[in-house]
Chain A
């Protein structure tokens, strides 16, 4: 019974929402690293000559992980409301991910 109730749907919609974030991150990582960039000849400054893989790890650690954790937190709150309205876990997870990104983007843009 638990698997089909709101609680079970909540878990599955959070899995779907996490899948969206994973897909988006993977697509951005693959897309940006597949674009060749001009070789830099001035490597005097720190972090000025990172390889695509290195810069990906750097951006992920410094910027990506906190943002992703924040997004997941907001999404978890949104999903708790959305699963009560939408009967499908896939639809609820997708909507929560979209709303989570929307809310975070609105807060970020409104703040700066």
Chain B
């Protein structure tokens, strides 16, 4: 039972965290079709949630697993989670490298929407440029 729990935790980290990060990064670099500004906001918020969950779980799961394995006296899983700490650092470095290639940071990005610009309803005179009729 203890072993199954620790094993589940380990493989949740091993496969779950890269899965979340990969899904988040694919969404982050994609150019989605978001007709309105609200759609774009919602898309960006979901992407942020997936990326944040991946980054947080990457930090939490190996430490939690190492703690539980030490408490349970499981030498095999203690070694696995000690290795997971190194993997955690590697994953953070890999994500940081990808984040360095984006121009606006990894999270908090809102993709462009395809909403048309609001029509101009009043004239703004520009000094030296254009005047307005009647003004």
Query: For this complex, into which size category does the number of interface residues on chain B fall?
Result: 20 to 34
From 34 to 59 in chain B, residues with beta carbon under 8 angstroms from any chain A beta carbon are 34, 39, 43, 46
Query: For this complex, into which size category does the number of interface residues on chain A fall?
Result: 20 to 34
Given contacts A23-B15, A23-B18, A27-B18, contact A34 B23 (CB under 8 A): yes
Q: Interface stretch among A35-43, A64-72, A100-108?
A: A35-43
In the complex the two chains form, what is the Cα distance from A35 to B18 in whole Å? Answer: 19
Instruction: Answer yes or no: B33 CB below 8 A from chain A CBs.
Output: yes
Q: Decide: B15 and A35 in contact? CB cutoff 8 A.
A: no
Given contacts A23-B18, A90-B14, contact A35 B23 (CB under 8 A): no
From 1 to 33 in chain B, residues with beta carbon under 8 angstroms from any chain A beta carbon are 10-11, 14-15, 18-19, 22-27, 30, 32-33
Cβ-closest chain A residue relative to B10: A90
Instruction: Answer yes or no: B80 CB below 8 A from chain A CBs.
Output: yes
Task: Give the residue of A19, A28, A30, A36 whose beta carbon is less than 8 angstroms from that of B33.
Answer: A36
Cβ-closest chain A residue relative to B33: A38
From 53 to 105 in chain A, residues with beta carbon under 8 angstroms from any chain B beta carbon are 88, 90-91, 94
Instruction: Answer yes or no: A48 CB below 8 A from chain B CBs.
Output: no
Contacts of A26 in B (CB 8 A): 19
Q: Decide: B27 and A35 in contact? CB cutoff 8 A.
A: yes
B residues whose Cβ falls under 8 Å from a Cβ of A: 10-11, 14-15, 18-19, 22-27, 30, 32-34, 39, 43, 46, 79-80, 83, 114
A residues whose Cβ falls under 8 Å from a Cβ of B: 16, 19-20, 22-24, 26-28, 30-32, 34-39, 88, 90-91, 94
Residue pairs across A and B with Cβ atoms less than 8 A apart, 7 shown, are A27-B22, A30-B19, A31-B23, A31-B27, A34-B27, A38-B33, A88-B83
